[in-house]
Amino acid sequence: MVDANTSVEIVDFHVHPMYDFHLPTHGVEINLRRFRDDLAANGITTACGSVIYRAMSGRPTAEYQRLIPLLNDQALAAKETLGNFYLPGIHIHPAFVELSCRELERCRAKGVRLIGELVPYMMGWSACATPEFIEIMEYARQLDMVVNIHPTSIADMYALSAAVPGLKLVWAHLSCSGGLTDHLEILRRYENVCFDISAHGTDRAGTLRQAIDRVGCDRLLFGTDYPGVGPASDIAAVMYEPLTDDEREAIFSRNAKRLLGL
Amino acid sequence: MRIIDIDAHPPVDAASFAHFFDRLNDAGIGLACGTLYAASAPDGGMARRLNEASLALAKREPRYIPALWGHPDCADQVEQARMIEIDGAWLDGAAEVLAAAQERGLPVSLRGESPAAAIMLAERYPSLKLICGGFFSRGFMPAQAAEVLAACPNVYLNLSGGIWIGNYVLHEWSRKLHIDRLLFGTGCPDGNPAAKLAAMKWELRDADEEVHSGIYRENARKLLGLEA
């Protein structure tokens, strides 16, 4: 655990404030206070991400027309409670292009810069390289917003990465599902693309060194996926990798701050 | 405290041995117990060669506690081990290895096993010490692990399994499990030792010192018959 009193700045690019998928099974209730206290106890200074929880997952597609603004309001409300500690990420849905673009406008006007993490499989969609999703992403690019997306199929990830040049696109979970080789190739080909390292990017020691040697340190973002995943392991893993101080700083905070304009 | 990793697997390449143990040490782990690394369960010939290399390594590396692959073709090597690792696919032919391990008091670490298979084996060999639930196990969720530990006093739980570093999982379940039969493991190199240890420390942040010393060292030390 990083000493919370040290001067290391850590921006956790990938959290979910109201996540309740496995925690109740083990007798734990997540709330915003626990969310903030656990992350802060591990040295995390800023946390970014979308609201997901069981009741919003796996609903009939039509319901997301109502749920998308609701989830975004919940993220904005969490921001009210947590202040500068939390940067909300909002949801959109490719089945509702007009609504999604309105939500981008509405939330951007309230200072929101981040879309996601979007988790397509929870909301009944699977492909990003569709005309509908690309239209929304084109508008996100115009609004200078950043989008964080849970990995889809490798082919779809290549296709979206190429589809909207200039989109600030962050795929989640570097190296998940054995995808490291393709993830690094996507980073090599598309300079507008980043990856966050949450949950899987440090499963195996040496992954970050390998990634940096291939594509540099400027497009890897620290994340935990808290509270789905504990907040300590990824920090320790970044500290454990044979990285320079500059590379660690880039991953822990500099890259996220640059992308989000902090 | 010199932490014992019950599930760490040095590389086959002898030139990398020192680096492997140095990196574990960097993560805070002082002793490593495990077979030499194989990405999948080796055949009999490969298991024998890995075992020979493992024993040679143990002679010159004090941070290594040798574990041998308990392939049915390697029963004659068992007596030289501190621990045996058996792949689930070998169990049908492993009677000789298991009997030898039981007779000599050697713990057997299972790989690719299910909770049901672990219980069946523990009941068939009641004085054999079995280590279950590690990195490659199947179906060892917390409730199943608790059930196996409760049903079988000769079973130990290897905490290298991914579920045990899930947020708040061990934090809550450490109160419901047999603490004296929990063993710290990383699955290194498939598991990241620094991440595993940090996650474990986070999960056990509210546990008392006795729990820490048991999980990180004392339970494994006693099981492996190491000096205090």
Domains detected in chain A: 11-260 (3.20.20.140)
Q: Across the interface, which of A42, A228, A240 has its CB nearest the CB of B194?
A: A240
pLDDT of residue B165: 87
Half-sphere exposure of B205 (CA within 13 A, CB side): 15
Residue with tokens 């115009």: A142
Going by C-beta distance under 8 Å and a sequence separation of 6 or more, which residues neighbour residue B213? Answer: B1
Taking CA atoms, A234 is separated from A26, A208, A216, B166, B218, in Å, by: 22, 11, 19, 12, 27
A67 touches chain B (CB under 8 A): no
CB-CB under 8 Å, A232 with B173: no
Mapped onto helix, strand or coil, the DSSP state of residue A199 is coil
Q: What is the pLDDT of residues B188-212, one digit of tens each?
A: 999 999 999 999 999 999 999 999 9
A11: number of Cβ within 10 Å: 23
Q: Across the interface, which of A42, A232, A237 has its CB nearest the CB of B192?
A: A237
Under the phi-then-psi rule, with left for phi > 0, alpha for psi from -120 to 50, and beta for the rest, what region is A122? alpha
Q: What is the pLDDT of residues B108-132, one digit of tens each?
A: 999 999 999 999 999 999 999 999 9
Element (H, E) at A157: helix A154-163
Residues in chain A within 8 Å Cβ distance of B172:
26-28
pLDDT of residue B139: 87
B65 bridge partner residues: B33
Query: Using 50, 70 and 90 to split pLDDT, how confident is the model at B218?
Result: very high
**What are the tokens at A202?**
């440090």
Residues in chain B within 8 Å Cβ distance of A227:
167-168
Taking CA atoms, B72 is separated from B59, B77, B164, in Å, by: 25, 10, 31
Mean pLDDT of B73-101: 94
- As for the ipTM of the complex, it is 0.93
Residues in chain A within 8 Å Cβ distance of B168:
23, 26, 28, 227, 230
The CATH code of the domain that includes B149 is 3.20.20.140
Gap between the Cα atoms of A80 and A95, Å rounded: 29
Going by C-beta distance under 8 Å and a sequence separation of 6 or more, which residues neighbour residue B112? Answer: B41, B87, B88, B89, B136, B137, B138
Q: Across the interface, which of B27, B167, B190 has its CB nearest the CB of A227?
A: B167
pLDDT of residue A6: 55
CB-CB under 8 Å, A1 with B198: yes
Q: What is the pLDDT of residues B41-81, one digit of tens each?
A: 999 999 999 999 999 999 999 999 999 999 999 999 998 99
CB-CB under 8 Å, B202 with A205: no
Number of domains in chain B: 1
CB-CB under 8 Å, B199 with A230: yes
Minimal-distance CA residue of chain B relative to A2: B198
Going by C-beta distance under 8 Å and a sequence separation of 6 or more, which residues neighbour residue B226? Answer: B4, B31, B65, B220
Residues in chain B within 8 Å Cβ distance of A237:
192, 194-195, 198
Residues in chain A within 8 Å Cβ distance of B196:
233
* Structural domain of B9: 3-224
Tens digits of pLDDT across chain A (262 residues)? 455 445 689 999 999 999 999 999 999 999 999 999 999 999 999 999 999 999 999 999 999 999 999 999 999 999 999 999 999 999 999 999 999 999 999 999 999 999 999 999 999 999 999 999 999 999 999 999 999 999 999 999 999 999 999 999 999 999 999 999 999 999 999 999 999 999 999 999 999 999 999 999 999 999 999 999 999 999 999 999 999 999 999 999 999 999 999 9
Gap between the Cα atoms of A163 and A155, Å rounded: 12
pLDDT of residue A5: 47
Element (H, E) at A115: strand A114-118
